[in-house]
Amino acid sequence: MRKPAIYLLVSLTTLSVPVSATDSRWSALPEKAPDPADNPTTEAKVTLGKMLYFDTRFSSTGTVSCFSCHNVMEGGDDHRPTSIGVHGQVGGRNAPTVWNAAFNSAQFWDGRAPSLEEQAKGPPANPIEMGMPNLDATIGRIQAIPGYQPYFEAAFGKDAITMDNAAKAIAAYERTLITPNSAYDRYVKGDKKAMTEQQIRGMDAFAKTGCTACHSGPAFNGSTNMPAGQGFLMKFPVFAGSPYETQYKLTEDPGRYTVTQKEEDKYLWRVQTLRNLTYTAPYFHNGSVKSLDEAVRVMAKTQLNKDLNDAEIQDIVAFLRALDGPFPQQIMPRLPPTPGGLLTEN
Catalytic residue among 31, 74, 117, 129: 129
Distance CA 203, CA 180 (A): 18
Q: What are phi and psi of 90, to 5 degrees?
A: -110, 130
CA angle 292, 294, 299 (to 5 degrees): 95
* Angle at CA of residue 174, ends 107 and 50, nearest 5°: 135
Instruction: For residue 39, report the phi and psi dihedrals to the nearest 5 degrees.
Output: -150, 65
Residue 38: count of CB within 10 angstroms of its CB: 8
- Note if 129 is an active site residue: yes
Q: Which amino acid is at 139?
A: I
Q: How far is CA 134 from each of CA 19, 70, 123, 125, rounded to the nearest angstrom?
A: 50, 22, 10, 5
Catalytic residues: 129
